[in-house]
Chains A and B, each alone.
Chain A
Amino acid sequence: MTDVKDAAAPTRRAAHGKAKGNERRRRSPFQVIVQVFGELLITAGLVLLLFVAWELWWTNIESNQKQDEALSSLFEEFQQAPAVPVPQNSDGGDSPEPADPPVLDEPAEGETFGVIYIPRFGENHARPLTGGVGLDVLDTLGLGHYPGTQMPGEVGNFAVAGHRQTHGQVLDLIHTLVPGDKIYIQTKDGFYTYVFRNNQIVMPDQVDVIAPVPTLPDAKPTERFLTMTSCNPRFGAEERIIAYAVMDNWQPASQGPPKEITERVAEFYGKEG
């Protein structure tokens, strides 16, 4: 029984191979064109899938790595920077009323000047703040500062933009902020504490949200605002989602970080040490 099977096998294989060869030769040009076209369509589909994976997944990995590098070098700068004299109140004492916070000069495009901590986005949340809102900044360096708007601690509006999806998705959870949430900003001078107030969804051309008094372009500012802009809805960009916060407190670097982010900040310094 086995012998018969073995003897028959080579013949069958040969016959099969021959038939396949004939089939290939017999194909008309039309069939060839259809097949090549079909293969190209399948390829295009796979390339599009790969693009989606690249955009939604790989860009996050790449950007997170670049942002971590930016933060590392920023903390090195912080450590080398000379201690900033603490602004004193006119009476020079420890009166509860804080002095005006120091204000950084506006950074150059692409220069990372600070860190933003938003505990609502996760206890490990920390992202670089960089000058400029071009795609080259937003794609790799965290949140970008709108040129011409104010700086942290300044009376007016410190306005920043960040990606909701892709490239680190730095503001993906912007809709989860709850009024009263703290947003901390660290610069070489110290820590600025902002308190989240409200969200607003606007059309992409409503530029007055980054005015010194948000949405009131002619008003004279008396408060210190923080405005964050990102795209809305998630995985779309028909609108923009805006998050407003108001400055609540400031403390110099020498006093150390606010309680809520002490551990996170220590981690950064630990990495350097």
Chain B
Amino acid sequence: MSQFFLQQQKSAELNPFPHIVELACQKIQHIQFNSFPVRQSLRLQFFYVNEGKFEWSINGKGFILYPGDMAVILPQQDFGSEKAFLDLGIISWITISPLQFTKAGNMLLGKWSSIPENETKSIGKLLSLNHLPVLSKLATAGHIFQSLQKEMAEQEIGYTVRVNQLIDELLITVVRHLTRQNNLQRDFPQTFMKLEQSLRNNLDHQWLVEEMAVLVGLGITAFTAKVKNYTGFSPLHYLINIRIAEAIKLLKNTNNHVTDIALETGFYSSQHFSTTFKKLTGYTPRQFRKNNKKNT
């Protein structure tokens, strides 16, 4: 694979692609000290190992990557090598600048991408909840990098469309691989428990069914059916169970304001909380709290 290095504002080839910050394939033949220190990444980066063995630190954790492995680095994550240099070998990478990427994983890519906005958000959420930034044995990603390089080099008719499609393709490949890597697709109870944990840890997030489905690696219809079959509830109703259960504990064990409890457990407002709570239990949250404290 031939080497190349394109950088926004320095390489004219990237003019039609303002969202691509860097696109490169490099063969590292010499160790260059201080060329690759750990620092905060500002963009979304994908690093693919073609040859060699690389020791990197991502978000404070050490990883060793072998050929076929890819590292996914999110904006604001620390990335680099503890030794501050790149090991010997060949790597490809692309750095993308999304329009938006919040800490909670709220991502917007921009007009260049043909992934619908709601799916983009789901992808962002999945990436931000993921604790394993290294995807192993992802040869497909290697092919995508090769195609990207070819399109850029040859600039044949339609290449601007193809390049953007390839980046979409890369994102989709990553997300699908992630859900398969994280979920044993044979064990729904185990997968569901992981999802449950994510819901609990981010209870104040306004979860969409799409986002939950992506985490499990299923389409919305199949996901909803599986959850209904397994739990007896639709995904959103199941989520309400968790919300109310957590709210009950806060009502009983703390003196927090009802409004704070409502927001903390993911209700839009104290009104929304009170209505849902009363509908289910027959009590308003305030009555419920009074009732459980006066039983002394």
* A and B together in one complex: no
Residues of B within 8 A of A (CB): none
